[in-house]
Amino acid sequence: MEQAQQEFRQDPSGANLAEFFRQNFPDQKGFEQVAAEMTKNPNDREYISSANTALDAVVEQSYKSGMLGASGALFGLLFAFAYLFPNTELFLLFIPFPIKAKYFVFMYAAYEPVRRRTSHTRRQRGPFCPPRWPRDRVLRS
């Protein structure tokens, strides 16, 4: 995608803009009008600038799409197990009595954000925590 973006920057035209969106974002709409205007006015700096800004935003947004780490993937497996087998009793080492899967996953989901937020190490992030907590900003000051 970055290579296609660089190719557009080298040769900004309506056809290249349309090709970029058709190849990388086939479901995206709205670029056709800008591409048509760029074809009519190939040397208009305003269209070229707005197209570059749009490409930058689209490429940056594609990198910010959500991803799960290992802890999020494990929680997904736990949730799937609890969804498929909610009344299965689990006997865990740190809980000295059997507990049903649906209750364990619910308690774990409630406990995890609290644990992550009160953790003293700022690097640990979980599947529920946003990238920055307000506490992190205070610690940096």
Q: What is the pLDDT of residues 22-79, one digit of tens each?
A: 888 777 777 788 788 888 888 888 888 888 888 888 777 776 655 567 777 888 888 9
Among the listed residues 124, 8, 20, 1, the one whose alpha carbon sits nearest the alpha carbon of residue 63: 1
Residues 97 and 128 in one domain: yes
Among the listed residues 95, 75, 99, 25, the one whose alpha carbon sits nearest the alpha carbon of residue 55: 25
What integer best gives the mean pLDDT of the chain? 77
Give the domain-ending residue among 40, 63, 86.
63
Distance CA 97, CA 15 (A): 66
Residue 76 sits in which domain range? 70-140
Give the domain-ending residue among 63, 98, 114.
63
Residues 74 and 136 in one domain: yes
